[in-house]
Structure 1
């Protein structure tokens, strides 16, 4: 089974239309249709957002398994929508210089200890 076949299977399981999937991922409907019609796969840059929208790990999407074996690992990737408050915070944080980032992290750690 190809990656695109798995995507369409997951869409069916979730009752999600190609249009809804397109809106959720930002991938054009024509690209999604091409996957089905031409039996092509999405570009690698889109895999993480596809996994986030479909609620599967990249391992599961790419391999077709749930990644429960000895070779699977906990994902270290976190996808954050840039339009959310958290996404805006992360974008601003990334623009800070190293000294300001360290200071903010120190403040954050101090807040956690206050609990």
Structure 2
């Protein structure tokens, strides 16, 4: 299956016409025809737009396979929350360094909470 075949499948799955697809993404019907005949392929920017439009991965669009993500599962306990203990990990921290690390840890926690809230 080619990139064009996968794009055509996405168009059909969305219930669109090829003309609607071209208008929506600013693609000429001539370019779409060239993709179908293998005369050319979509530019990188256009592939990114198509991927975003159909909410599909670039991996699938390009290869037909999804990339298997490597996930690391960690608990919050894996992180040092008390910056005074960081000094035990290779030397003493200055008060400025400790304050910086504490601020960073608070920032990371804030971002996680904000992400969980859907923002």
Q: TM (normalized to structure 1)? A: 0.53
Q: CA deviation at 1:21?
A: 0.7
Distance in 1 (alpha carbons) for counterparts of 2:59 and 2:19: 25
| Structure exhibiting the larger radius of gyration computed from Cα positions | 2
In structure 2, what is the equivalent of residue 56 of structure 1? Answer: 56
Greater relative contact order (Cα 8 A, min sep 6): structure 1 or 2? 1
Q: TM (normalized to structure 2)? A: 0.51
In structure 1, what is the equivalent of residue 69 of structure 2? Answer: 70
Structure 1: runs of 5+ lacking an equivalent: 73-111
In structure 2, what is the equivalent of residue 42 of structure 1? Answer: 42
Deviation sequence 1:47-97 (CA, Å, 0-9, x none): 111112222121221121233x2359xxxxxxxxxxxxxxxxxxxxxxxxx
In structure 2, what is the equivalent of residue 13 of structure 1? Answer: 13
Structure 2: runs of 5+ lacking an equivalent: 72-113, 115-119
Q: Provide the aligned length of Structure 1 versus Structure 2.
A: 72
- Root-mean-square deviation (CA, aligned residues, Å) is 2.3
**Distance verdict in 2 for CA 1:52–1:70, change over 3 Å:** closer
Distance in 2 (alpha carbons) for counterparts of 1:17 and 1:55: 18
